[in-house]
Amino acid sequence: MKKTGFICDESYFWHDTGNGALFMQPGGYIESDVHSENPATKRRFKNLLEVSGLMEKLEQVKPRPASVEEIKFFHGESYINKVKELSAIGFGDAGDLALVGKGSYEIALLSAGGAITAVEAVVSGQVDNAYALTRPPGHHAEADLGMGFCLFNNVAIAAKYARNVLGLERVMVLDWDVHHGNGTESAFYDDPNVLFVSLHQERLFPPGRGNAEDIGTGEALGRTVNIPLPAGTGNAGYLHALQEVVGPIADQFKPELIIISAGQDAGMFDPLARMMVNAEGFRQMTRFMLDLANKHCEGKLVACHEGGYSAAYVPFCSLAIVEEMSGQRTDVNDPFAEAFSGLPIEELFDIQKDYVAKVKEVQSAHWNLAVKA
């Protein structure tokens, strides 16, 4: 039976993005509401782990704060200082929709440190795999610019830690958050030793990022793999992309560690996207990535929580992921499953095949992506 680590800290829920409506600040005709990136989705996921009984079967691993030197693996000193200063003041924007509240700097250090802690625990063999329930998220954060609710790029820093400190030669990052992982892509766009793959809804956020033609540069050509998918893609479309592109490329890259940027905002009820993945779909995707990890790196897999903005549904999608990682099933069934009845989430459409085929065509000069018989 697998030993799955779980990394979380109460302070993650104390990162304050203020009031708003979706991602907008209140004012004018925008009435005050709850900001999309609020603690509810993550806190309710943790609560579900506990009431389902799964939490007691996980290995609790206490996160440590990342050091400033570790944050500098990706971020510039001036940007780090900006986040620190805004945090001391009590509120501000570290870039583009990257809100900083009182104490957010210290929490963001602990969030990045949570991702590092997860990687350390898995690489050392303390646990077989690990889920880091961190906040604030990270995958949009650029080297000198916060973006899309993200302050420090947790996954990029953790992947660089695996390379720089733990000495791994090949790290794979799979980002299935529904929004393109632009910051993580930037971190490794010229690095042939890190394979970055992003599955995301096309033309969503950030504008102009995540095109299939964006494949890396120099010796890292082909090490960036963008798989934009059309709105309405469900379980079958995501699994098709994993089978046709991600699996064959991973087989050739042979990672020593796989890190997932696990944003559950491709879920059916998410207010900031238009995909149709359900909890079972996230379970299937996790099973696929576990099989890759077992095949290439003795099961070494880390999942770091990113987006997901349906407080009601994200907990069930995330629970399915951790159930699959741990090999443990609870008596929790997806209570929203009936809402999917009759919807074609398990049907693969030609338009989804066409999007994946384009990625294969673009990447074929760098990887063997022959069509399967």
Q: Is 321 helix (H, G, I), strand (E, B) or coil?
A: helix
- Cα(34)–Cα(307) distance, rounded to whole angstroms? 16
Task: Respond yes or no: is residue 15 known to be catalytic.
Answer: no
| Sequence-separated (6 or more) residues with CB below 8 Å from residue 43 | 13
Q: Per the structure block, which two tokens stand in for 316?
A: 């069930």
Distance CA(223)–CA(175), nearest Å, equals 14
Which residue bears the tokens 């929490």?
107
Measured CA to CA, the distance from residue 212 to residue 230 in angstroms comes to 13
Residues with Cβ within 8 Å of residue 228, at least 6 apart in sequence:
180, 200, 201, 202, 203, 210, 211, 212, 355
Q: Which residue of the set 140, 180, 240, 305 is catalytic?
A: 140
Structure tokens at 83: 């986040």
Q: Are 261 and 177 in contact (CB under 8 A)?
A: yes
List, by residue number, the catalytic residues. Answer: 140
